[in-house]
Copies of this chain bind each other. A is one copy, B any other.
């Protein structure tokens, strides 16, 4: 029930947040547009933007910088983010690569560092070291930005502990149970936050497709893992960590196929790339999963299935069945209006779709509410980055800059 007292300070914070939020969503706007967009009066917009400009958070765009669709009347002066107001360091840690991006407050990519990872990477270099080293390198290459970094945000895969600061389990080797977030935070004296990849996907999808901005969406990643994030009427569920799920490790078949996580019968064990491959090649379900599947091998299998080869189509059928029942079960708890399938598996959507629909059709929620809209969407990298970016900038907006002092 932790509702807080409201006073004139919180009023200003709220309304400043509204203004920054509008700019974040719409891009540069005139003060009039801000007034109608936020619902605030012109007088308030004047006061608030004046404050924000004085504090160097936003600035008036020069007439040259705006697309001139002029007509009668005094021309509008657009305000936009001051790109030098701050910046953020964004890590994306995957099973086989790590990426660090430096972005400015306007959301523009300033610099980027990319590293291949192997299962031994974090055994040889402890995660904290690894990340600190790269962050330092980036800071040295961009000394002027280094001073204004306000946040470090890290996209990870796996299960976080309750306070969201430690990975308790992860498919990335040797990274779980190390307090790298806290250590980085101390070393650089910056707030460091961890975000589940699945959740960022959901956030990113929202930003990439405006039609999804206010809908309840489940975004399912199918590839080397299976993961899911959810948004609820445009809001990411829960404040911090919720909205991320362990969909990939939801049980599909009691005592079923062996999963990378060590459990049996997870959705992932059937629907991820290694699961599909294992089925296609009639490797026993209990065989240890391949550590990594080359992209072309997975692509090849898709091609064979599309050509009608039995073993391959069967493997994708099983995968679709696992995803379908997983979704059907998820929908007993939370039913979104849209389901997005992203990642390499989205290519194979055609091969899985009949089994997915069949499983969904067998659930009461779907029979009553109708099937949700299923959309396959390529390329999951950009949504993750974009989700991480927008989530972090929005956090800066609302936490650091909406507060006046």
Q: Is A76 an interface residue (CB 8 A)?
A: no
CB pair A8 B5 closer than 8 Å? no
Number of copies: 2
Q: Which of A97-105, A241-249, A272-280, A284-292 contacts B (4 or more CB under 8 A)?
A: A241-249
Please tell me which stretch of A79-87, A108-116, A131-139, A357-365 contacts chain B, meaning at least 4 of its Cβ atoms lie within 8 angstroms of it: A357-365
Contacts of A181 in B (CB 8 A): none
Stretch at the interface among A259-267, A312-320, A343-351: A259-267
A18 cross-chain contacts in B, Cβ below 8 A: 3, 5
Given contacts A159-B368, A250-B333, A254-B325, contact A10 B1 (CB under 8 A): no
* Given A38-B5, A247-B332, A329-B250, A159 and B242 contact (CB-CB distance below 8 Å): no
CA distance A403 to B309 in the complex (A): 67
**Which of A119-127, A147-155, A232-240 interfaces with chain B?**
A232-240
| A97 → chain B closest CB, angstroms | 24
* Contact partner, A263, options B21, B249, B254, B363, Cβ 8 Å: B363
Contact flags A317-335 to B (C-beta < 8 A → 1, else 0): 0000000010011111110
- As a 0/1 sequence over residues 155 to 170 of chain A, the CB contacts with chain B under 8 angstroms (1 = contact) are 0000101100000110
- CB pair B242–A168 under 8 Å, yes or no, is no
Measured CB to CB, the closest approach of chain B to A198, in angstroms, equals: 11
Contact A251 B328 (CB under 8 A): yes
Docked-complex contact B169 and A364, CB < 8 angstroms:
yes
Assembly CA distance A232 to B238 (angstroms): 8
Q: Which one, B14, B233, B363, contacts A6 given CB within 8 A?
A: B14
Interface assignment of A63: CB less than 8 Å from any CB of chain B: no
The CA of A3 and the CA of B17, in the complex, are separated in Å by 10
Is A379 in contact with chain B by the CB < 8 A criterion?
no
Q: Is A369 an interface residue (CB 8 A)?
A: yes
Q: A4 interface residue, CB < 8 Å from B?
A: yes
User: Which B residues lie within 8 Å of A235 (CB)?
Assistant: 1
Chain B contacts of A254 at CB under 8 A? 325, 359, 362
**How many residues on chain A are close to B (CB under 8 Å)?**
64
Interface residue? A213 (CB, 8 A): yes
* Contact in complex: A245, B332 (CB < 8 Å): yes
CB contacts (< 8 Å) of A295 on chain B: these are: none
A32 within 8 A of B: no
Residue on B with the closest CB to A254?
A: B325
In the complex, what residue of chain B is closest to A250 when comparing beta carbons? Answer: B332
User: Closest CB-CB distance, A39 to chain B, in whole Å?
Assistant: 5
Q: Are B15 and A6 in contact (CB under 8 A)?
A: yes
Taking a contact as CB atoms under 8 Å apart, the answer to whether A1 and B213 are in contact is yes
Select from chain B the residue with minimum beta-carbon distance to A18. B3
Identify the closest chain B residue to A364 (Cβ): B249
11 additional contacts (CB under 8 A) given A3-B21, A251-B362, A263-B364: A3-B14, A6-B15, A159-B368, A162-B369, A169-B368, A230-B333, A233-B238, A250-B329, A254-B359, A264-B362, A330-B332
